Amino acid sequence: MATDKAYKVLAQQKEISNKKAKELIDRGIVFVEDKKVKIARAEIHTETVFRVEYPAKIEILYQDDDIIAINKPAQVDSYEIQDAIDGAELLHRLDRDTSGVLLLGKNRPFIEKAIKEFKARRVEKHYVAWIEGVLYEKVVIDEPIFTIKKGKAFSMVDKIRGKKAHTIVSPEELQGKKSKVNIEITTGRTHQIRVHLAHIGHPIVGDEQYGSRTQVKRVLLHSLKMKILDYEFNAREPKEILQYK
Residues 90 and 201 grouped into a single domain = yes
pLDDT band at residue 223 under the 50/70/90 scheme: very high
Neighbours of 51 (CB within 10 A): 11
Q: Chain-centre distance of CA 122, in angstroms?
A: 22
Residues 175 and 88 grouped into a single domain = yes
Neighbours of 111 (CB within 10 A): 18
What is the per-residue pLDDT across 153-175, written as a single tens digit (0 to 9) for each?
899 999 999 999 999 999 999 99
pLDDT at res. 7: 81
115 CB burial (10 A radius; 0-12, 13-18, 19+): middle
What is the per-residue pLDDT across 5-16, written as a single tens digit (0 to 9) for each?
888 888 888 888
Could you give the percent of the chain with pLDDT greater than 70? 99
Residues 84 and 32 grouped into a single domain = no
Q: Out of 19-23, 27-31, 190-194, 196-200, pick the least confident.
A: 27-31
Q: Looking at mean pLDDT, say which of 8-12, 35-39, 218-222 comes out highest.
A: 218-222
Residues 36 and 19 grouped into a single domain = yes
Residues 230 and 110 grouped into a single domain = yes
Please spell the DSSP secondary structure of the chain, one letter per residue: --EEEHHHHHHHHHT--HHHHHHHHHTT-EEETTEEP--TT-EEETTPPPEE-PPPPPEEEEE-SSEEEEEEPTT--HHHHHHHSTT-EESS---TT-EEEEEEESSHHHHHHHHHHHHTT--EEEEEEEEES---S-EEE---EEEE-SSS-EEEE-TTTPBP--EEEEEEEEETTEEEEEEEESS--TTHHHHHHHHTT-PBTT-GGGT-----SS--EEEEEEEETTEEEE-PPPHHHHT--
pLDDT band at residue 56 under the 50/70/90 scheme: low
Is there a catalytic annotation at residue 142?
Answer: no
Residues 17 and 138 grouped into a single domain = no
Residues 9 and 114 grouped into a single domain = no
* Domain region containing 34: 3-52
pTM for this entry: 0.81
Q: How many domains does the chain have?
A: 2
Tell me which of 65, 66, 83, 95 is the catalytic residue: 95
